[in-house]
Amino acid sequence: MALKLSDYKTDVHNDWCPGCGDFGILNAIQMALSDMQIPLHRAAIFSGIGCSGKTPHFIHTYGIHTLHGRVLPFAQGAKLSNPDLEILAVGGDGDGLGIGAGHFVSAGRRNVDMVYIIFNNAVYGLTKGQAAPTLKLGMKTKSLPQANVNNSVNPIALALVAGFTFIARGYSYDVRHLKDLIRKAVEHKGLAFIDVLQPCPTYNDINTKEWFQGLDNINPENGRQMPRIYKLEETGYDGVVYEPGEINTKMAKMIERSNEWGNRIPVGIFYKNEHIPTYQERIVARIPNYIENPPSKQHISDTNSKPTASINRLLEDLRVDK
Ligand code: SF4
């Protein structure tokens, strides 16, 4: 029987602030899972700490609310243990690009076949709006006593140099476009990253919904308001690497677009490269039956609950005095 969108929703009380961009991202994830008809028991959503950390509570699949900045190690471990699962990791920009920045870079090197979505509002919303890693230098939100003294991280460029093989940006109030990006990220072979611009109406009074809509952004040529957000695909941009020889060219074009900010902000797929082996493929090269017999399918105890795993052989293999 076909799964309905409502099947992917829980009845857990949601206490996000009214108007928060998180709602759009949650809806887009549920719509993407529903579009793809992913069985509830075949998906697992992992989160870090922050307002976005509550996301797994609202999706009726497996959900694991982990530690601050540690969502990627948990999520990668789950995927490697059970390659049959569709894994989505979510978290804020503070969670993923502040305390979790080391894991972000390490994940890129591995290219585990899963999706990571950052809810990017440029502040630490859960703890009253301190400056997060994507807040621009010199910006003073209403939650800060003084302007931000640090420069900001460019998540799109960082993902590229770390080794992510699918890199996109969405906007939380364009739910259908974001849903399509999530679907493409899940279908991608390798590690996919989506940076989602997510207004926080409670603490970030600069990058608001009205700001992204461009209500103050007047086109000097015709005097009309101009939305800041535009779609890469509508400009002829194509970030797909069709053959390895064009990797450097595509990377250079992507970096150029990733630096656009201010009056024009691109969303869509910046980069997609399926020529890099996934971590699972690298494991299969060493352990040929890994996919048929991954750790999650191995018995760890007998019918009397006695552990069947033995580390003696492993210890013997590791001995250095042989
Ligand atoms: Fe959303 Fe900001 Fe409220 Fe957190 S503090 S729920 S990010 S509006």
In tens, the pLDDT along 284-300 reads 999 999 999 999 998 88
The stretch 182-210 carries a mean pLDDT of 97
Whole-number Å distance, alpha carbon 23 to ligand 1 midpoint, is 10
Q: Which atom of ligand 1 is nearest to the CA of 22?
A: 1
At residue 1, the pLDDT reads 84
Does ligand 1 lie within 6 Å of residue 204's CB atom? Answer: no
Does ligand 1 lie within 6 Å of residue 205's CB atom? Answer: no
Whole-number Å distance, alpha carbon 24 to ligand 1 midpoint, is 12
Does ligand 1 lie within 6 Å of residue 20's CB atom? Answer: yes
Q: Which atom of ligand 1 is nearest to the CA of 15?
A: 6
Does ligand 1 lie within 6 Å of residue 105's CB atom? Answer: no
Q: Whose CA is nearest to atom 1 of ligand 1?
A: 20
Q: Which atom of ligand 1 is nearest to the CA of 17?
A: 3
On the question of pLDDT at 309 being above 80, the answer is no
Tokens in use for 219?
A: 């086109």
Banded model confidence at residue 24, pLDDT cuts 50, 70, 90:
very high
At residue 313, the pLDDT reads 77
At residue 322, the pLDDT reads 75
* Residues 20 and 196 sit within 8 Å (Cβ to Cβ): no
At residue 321, the pLDDT reads 85
Does ligand 1 lie within 6 Å of residue 26's CB atom? Answer: no
Per residue, the 3-state secondary structure of the chain, as one string, reads: CCCCHHHHECCCCCCCCCCCCHHHHHHHHHHHHHHCCCCHHHEEEEECCCHHHHHHHHECCEEEECCCCCHHHHHHHHHHHCCCCEEEEEEEHHHHHHHCHHHHHHHHHHCCCCEEEEEECCEEHHHCCEECCCCCCCCCCCCCCCCCCCCCCCHHHHHHHHCCCEEEEEECCCHHHHHHHHHHHHHCCCCEEEEEECCCCCCCCCCCHHHHHCCCCECCCCCCECCCEEEHHHHCCCCECCCHHHHHHHHHHHHHHHCCCCCCEEEEEEEECCCCCCHHHHHHHHCCCCCCCCHHHCCCECCCCCECCCCHHHHHHHCCCC
Banded model confidence at residue 307, pLDDT cuts 50, 70, 90:
confident
For the stretch 84-104, pLDDT in tens is 999 999 999 999 999 999 999
Reported pTM? 0.94
Whole-number Å distance, alpha carbon 301 to ligand 1 midpoint, is 44
Whole-number Å distance, alpha carbon 202 to ligand 1 midpoint, is 6
Does ligand 1 lie within 6 Å of residue 51's CB atom? Answer: yes
* Close Cβ partners of 127 (under 8 Å, ≥ 6 residues apart): none
Whole-number Å distance, alpha carbon 110 to ligand 1 midpoint, is 32
Whole-number Å distance, alpha carbon 142 to ligand 1 midpoint, is 14
At residue 53, the pLDDT reads 97
Measured distance CA(4)–CA(174) in Å, rounded: 21
Does ligand 1 lie within 6 Å of residue 203's CB atom? Answer: yes
Whole-number Å distance, alpha carbon 197 to ligand 1 midpoint, is 13
At residue 228, the pLDDT reads 97
Does ligand 1 lie within 6 Å of residue 22's CB atom? Answer: yes
Banded model confidence at residue 76, pLDDT cuts 50, 70, 90:
very high
For the stretch 226-283, pLDDT in tens is 999 999 999 999 999 999 999 999 999 999 999 999 999 999 999 999 999 999 999 9
